[in-house]
Structure 1
Amino acid sequence: MKFFVLLFLLLVTAISITLACECGLEGSTSRIYRGSKVRPNKYPWLAYIRSYSDRKNGSYHRCGGSLIDERHIITAAHCVVNANGKVYSLSNLDVFLGLVKAFNVSSKPNSVSKVWIHDKYDTSDLSNDLAILTLSKPVKYTQTVAPVCLPNFENGLSTLMVAGWGRTAANAGFTNDLLEVEVDYLTKKECNDLKKDYEMKLDGISDSMKSQVEVESVAETHMCAINKKTKGDSCSGDSGGPLMYQGDNGRYYLMGIVSGSWADCGEVEEIAGLYTRTFIYKNFIKSIATNACWQTKH
């Protein structure tokens, strides 16, 4: 009898853990440059963040983010730090979930009770560009609000997806509709070569001098991606949003966080988007978002 009770408890515990770790599934029925419109609530973890510099005049900085458990949003550090290097006051941060239109916001925003900035965040090169927002109240998971999976891997990446409400070109306005764009993962060498080509072109240096030119490498905390055919990429306003890998099981994994680039989207096509690598911050994220779901690739 004791054995049966113990076995039953173990099974209940296992089932509870499995249910608690549901993540990365598409919901019910784009900075994105050369992207396409997303059907409503396809990515139920997508957050729209407004950081107000002045609520009286309504001016705010907009960013994306991702829900990783019922209380936490992961985003870019530069999304919640103002021009003076100070974190926005909690009362000036609004987080919207389950949003379809960025301009027609009718839902009440989620307030923030704490902001966690990675202690090695560097504004000069955007290394360690990561922040976690603790919501004042836990959210309820629905078909339109649910968490993304976090990855226990970083190998075998090829095609990835970015989504956001950012600008559609360097000098264009922000999009009201959520946009998405497929991007190709670049190796560190490919990314550094693109960066060198861009800086040489900017300085008027001939390609024949490439072997003699040294350029500061992309930060190790970043990965790079761009659509090699269309040059589609993330753009201003998409910062903090997700760079996603979809596994064979249909689940989406948060591989990166939109961080920036060395030129505005669309101004120069031979550049790549920079994304903060999620996997390398596993311990940092786990120490804050204890209920986030880390999964291996399927």
Structure 2
Amino acid sequence: NMNALHRVLLAAALSILAYDGKFTFGIINGKKADENDLKFVVSVQNASKHKCGGLLIDRKFVLTAAHCFGDMSVVIGTHNIIVFFHKKQFKLDEKVDRRYYEKTQIAWQFLEVPENSRCRVAGWGETETNKNPVSNLMVTDVSIVNSATCKKSWGKMGTKLPPGVICAGGSEKSGVCEGDSGGPLLCGDVVVGIVSFNFDKNCHYPNAPNVYTNISFYRHWISVVGKKCI
């Protein structure tokens, strides 16, 4: 009962990739995730070091952000990526044991999350600007920001947001920081987005809203790529 983890699906648009040098990606004012929660969240590794988050969307594919691409491996099935590192690290195309996989609810149909909805974001990123990533998965609550409000906030900083994004947090004292890219944004039990970017390596909130890739915006592309790789 083993399946191959064929490749990583890269679900951020090229327009978002263009921002890579200016923006950053960690959980601020969060708490340690419950051991039995968020089992589908994985650590995307580069040279045996945590680089980004990701989510196991079925037994063959990990979804993460495009700027996380590189010589990747993933750590699956643990919230502590240091203690259990050697037992649960997989190179792409290696087989993943069934017990590491937990079915994930993904927003495949277009889903507009109401403004001010309280959602959760999780990751192993920095907990302060210019600090090291953490060993335990952290989670925090963030509020959904109206699209027009978000575009206006980023517009004041000279940035036009690409299509297919969701905004959350930033105006409160919690959000994401470097190392959280690719991790999930959950509203209820449904994953609606993945961490994309923040502004100018500044994790001292309040700040501009955090920007997430809207998974439902790329549902057709994900489906097409998935079928080609099976």
TM interval, short-chain normalised: 0.7 to 0.9
Distance 1:150 1:289, change over 3 A: farther
1:241 aligns with 2:230: no
Match of 1:69 among 58, 72, 75: 58
Do the aligned residues in 1 keep the contact of 2:123 with 2:137 (CA within 8 Å)?
A: yes
The worse-fitting range, judged by mean Cα deviation, of 33-42 and 159-168 is 33-42
Where do 5+ consecutive residues of structure 2 fail to align?
Answer: 1-25
- Work out whether 1:108 is the aligned partner of 2:50: no
Structure of larger gyration radius: 1
Is contact 2:113–2:144 with CA below 8 Å preserved after alignment?
no
Distance between the aligned counterparts of 1:196 and 1:281, measured in 2? 24
Q: Report deviation, 1:268.
A: 5.2
Aligned to 1:150: 106
Instruction: Tell me the CA shift for residue 79 of structure 1.
Output: 0.5
In the TM superposition, residue 273 of structure 1 has moved relative to its aligned partner by: 1.0
Q: Does 1:79 align with 2:68?
A: yes
How do 1:164-179 residues align onto structure 2 when only pairs under 5 Å count? 164-179=123-138
Residue 177 of structure 1 deviates from its aligned partner by 1.4
Residue 138 of structure 1 deviates from its aligned partner by 4.8
Mean Cα displacement is larger for which, 230-239 or 260-269?
260-269
Q: Verify: 1:282 aligned to 2:219, yes or no.
A: yes
Output the CA distance in 2 between the equivalents of 1:254 and 1:189.
Answer: 22
The sequence identity of aligned pairs, in percent, is 26
Letter of the 1:93 counterpart: M
- Measured in 2, the distance between the counterparts of 1:100 and 1:267 equals 25
Aligned length: 198
TM-aligned CA deviation for residue 289 of structure 1: 3.2
**Aligned partners of 2:54 and 2:184 also within 8 Å:** yes
Name the CA distance, whole Å, in 1 between partners of 2:127 and 2:159.
29
CA contact (8 A) 1:234 1:265 kept: no
Contact 1:182 1:227 in 2 (8 A): no
Instruction: Decide whether the 8 Å contact of 2:53 with 2:180 is kept in 1.
Output: yes
Map of 1:218 onto structure 2: 161
**Residue 173 of structure 1: SS of its match in structure 2?**
coil
The answer on 1:96 being equivalent to 2:75 is yes
Task: Flag as ranges the 4+ runs of structure 1 deviating above 6 A.
Answer: none
| Partner AA of 2:151 in structure 1 | N
Q: Compute the RMSD of aligned alpha carbons.
A: 2.0
Q: 1: distance between equivalents of 2:126 and 2:190?
A: 24
Q: TM-score, normalised by structure 2?
A: 0.78
From the superposition, tell whether residues 270 and 100 of structure 1 become closer, same or farther in structure 2 (CA, over 3 Å).
closer
Is the 1:66–1:147 contact (alpha carbons within 8 Å) kept by the matching residues of 2?
no
Measured in 2, the distance between the counterparts of 1:161 and 1:43 equals: 11
Once the two structures are superposed, what CA deviation does each residue of 1:264-289 show, in whole Å capped at 9, x if it has no partner?
A: 24345221111111001111111233
Structure 1 residues 39 and 61 mapped into 2: Cα distance closer, same or farther (>3 Å)? closer
Which residue in the other structure is 1:182 paired with?
A: 141
5+ residue gaps, structure 1, are 1-30, 53-57, 81-87, 114-135, 200-214, 247-251, 291-298
Conserved? CA contact 2:68–2:181, under 8 Å: yes
| Structure 1 residue 189, shift from structure 2 partner | 1.1
- Structure with more relative contact order (C-alpha pairs < 8 Å, separation 6 or more): 2
SS of the aligned residue for 1:232 comes to coil
